[in-house]
Amino acid sequence: MNTQLHQLARALRDLHKQLIHLESQYFGNVGSPLEQLQLITNHPHFAWLQKLSGLMAQIDERLDDKEPVTPAEAKAFRQSLEMLIGPCEEGDQEFRAKYNALLHDGPELVMAHGAVRKLLAAI
């Protein structure tokens, strides 16, 4: 499970990067990388992304643990991600609405989404 979760963590970083890239384009020029980081972490326009960021941090923290990831833990991460990006029906509709809108705007995001979905299906 650790290998699958490591692959998922890498794919999520790419997905997150693509989301930030598109949202930054809509927000406008923000200046230096430090200013962009402060904006992403503090501005309400980017607040919806914190749900994904937090889940990514949880996965990374778990992977840093010496104990192997159990299948139950991996499935719990999968379910949490599916609540955000789909296809879970009971998911976070606010997050999903913004996420799905961006999916229509960026082919790179669509590719990153596909990679994450493929990895989630294997868990």
pTM of the model: 0.91
* pLDDT of the residue at 40: 84
* pLDDT of the residue at 51: 95
The per-residue pLDDT for range 68-119, each reduced to its tens digit, is: 999 999 999 999 999 999 888 888 999 999 999 999 988 999 999 999 999 9
Distant-in-sequence, close-in-space partners of 5: CB < 8 Å, separation ≥ 6: 59, 62, 63, 69, 74, 77, 123
Residue 6 in tokens: 């490591």
The per-residue pLDDT for range 36-51, each reduced to its tens digit, is: 888 888 889 899 999 9
28: number of Cβ within 10 Å: 7
* pLDDT of the residue at 122: 94
| DSSP-based helix, strand, coil % in the chain, nearest 5 | 80, 0, 20
Judge contact between 11 and 115, C-beta under 8 A. Answer: yes
